[in-house]
Structure 1
Amino acid sequence: MKYLIILKSFLFISISRKKNEEHIDTLWDFNSTFCSSYGLKVDCNPRLQLLVRAKILKSNNDYYSFKYPYIYYFFIAKYLSESLEDDDTSTIVNKLINTLDKRKSMNILMFLTHHSKDKSILDRIIIHTKTLFSQLEPTDLGINARFIDKIIDSLPTINYQKVDCHEYRQSIEDEKDNQLIEFDSDSDSDSESESESESESESTENNPSLINLMNEFNLSFKSLDLLGQLTRNYYGSLKIEQKESLLSEAINAPLRALESIFSILRDDPDQALSMIEAKIKEKIDNNETYSKLELNNISRKILFNLMSAITYSIIKKNIRVNW
Structure 2
Amino acid sequence: MGQSNGLENSALGYYYEYMILGALNSKVRHEQTHEVLNYCSQFAWFLKNGEKQKVSDKDFRAFHSAFEDKFDLSINYEGRRRTLIEANIFLLTDEEIGFRYPYSYFFFLGRFLSRNLEDQEIVGFIGECCKNLHVRELGNAMLFLAHHSTDGTVVFDALKKSIDSRFSTVKPLAFNHDTAKLDDYVENLPALVFSKENELAVRNNVQIHNEGVEVGLDGILVSKDFSDDDEAQRIVLDLLAEINGLIRGVEILGSALKANFGSIDSKTKQSLIDTLFQGGLRALRSFVEIFAATPEGVMAELIEALQMGDNGSGSKAIREKAIKVKIFQVVGRLSFWFIHRVGSSVGSRSMSPAIDRYIKTNDTVANRLVAMAGKLETPDPITLAELRELNGRVLKSAFAQSVLRWIVYSRIHMYRTAEREKQQICEELGIRIELQHAIDFKTKATKRIS
1:65 matched to 2:61: no
Listed as ranges, the matches of 1:131-146 within 5 Å are 131-146=165-180
Q: Which residue of structure 2 lines up, in the alignment, with residue 218 of structure 1?
A: 244
**Considering only aligned residues, what root-mean-square deviation do their CA atoms show, in Å?**
3.1
Q: CA deviation at 1:112?
A: 0.9
Whether the aligned pair in 2 keeps the contact of 1:101 and 1:219 (CA below 8 Å) is yes
Listed as ranges, the matches of 1:58-137 within 5 Å are 58-118=91-151, 119-137=153-171
Sequence identity percentage: 21
Structure 1 unaligned spans of 5+: 184-188
Q: CA deviation at 1:269?
A: 5.1
Distance 1:204 1:322 in 2: 40
Listed as ranges, the matches of 1:143-292 within 5 Å are 143-159=177-193, 175=207, 197-199=222-224, 201-202=226-227, 205-207=230-232, 208-268=234-294, 270-271=296-297, 273-274=299-300, 276-277=302-303, 280=306, 284=309, 287=311, 289-292=313-316
Change (3 A) 1:153 1:239: same
Q: Which residue of structure 2 lines up, in the alignment, with residue 295 of structure 1?
A: 319
Whether the aligned pair in 1 keeps the contact of 2:116 and 2:122 (CA below 8 Å) is yes
Paired residue for 1:23, among 56, 72, 75?
56
Higher deviation after alignment, 149-158 or 63-72 = 149-158
Q: CA deviation at 1:33?
A: 2.7
Distance 1:44 1:251 in 2: 50
CA deviation string 1:251-298 (max 9, x = no partner): 11121111113333444553553454355467x27x554542232122
CA deviation string 1:162-191 (max 9, x = no partner): 79xxx99xx68x959x97xxx9xxxxx9xx
1:85 alignment partner, SS class:
coil
Q: Which residue of structure 2 lines up, in the alignment, with residue 186 of structure 1?
A: none
1:321 alignment partner, SS class:
helix
Instruction: Provide TM-score, normalisation by structure 1.
Output: 0.82
Q: CA deviation at 1:43?
A: 1.5
Whether the aligned pair in 1 keeps the contact of 2:251 and 2:345 (CA below 8 Å) is yes
Q: Which residue of structure 2 lines up, in the alignment, with residue 320 of structure 1?
A: 344
Whether the aligned pair in 2 keeps the contact of 1:57 and 1:66 (CA below 8 Å) is yes
Structure 2 unaligned spans of 5+: 1-31, 348-450
2:58 alignment partner, SS class:
helix
Instruction: Provide TM-score, normalisation by structure 2.
Output: 0.61
CA deviation string 1:33-73 (max 9, x = no partner): 33234321111212111211111111012210111111111
Count of residues paired in the alignment: 303
Higher deviation after alignment, 195-204 or 220-229 = 195-204
Whether the aligned pair in 1 keeps the contact of 2:247 and 2:280 (CA below 8 Å) is yes
Whether the aligned pair in 2 keeps the contact of 1:51 and 1:57 (CA below 8 Å) is yes
Distance 2:143 2:44 in 1: 17
Q: CA deviation at 1:223?
A: 1.6
Change (3 A) 1:204 1:300: farther
Q: CA deviation at 1:76?
A: 0.8
What letter corresponds to residue 172 of structure 2 in structure 1?
P
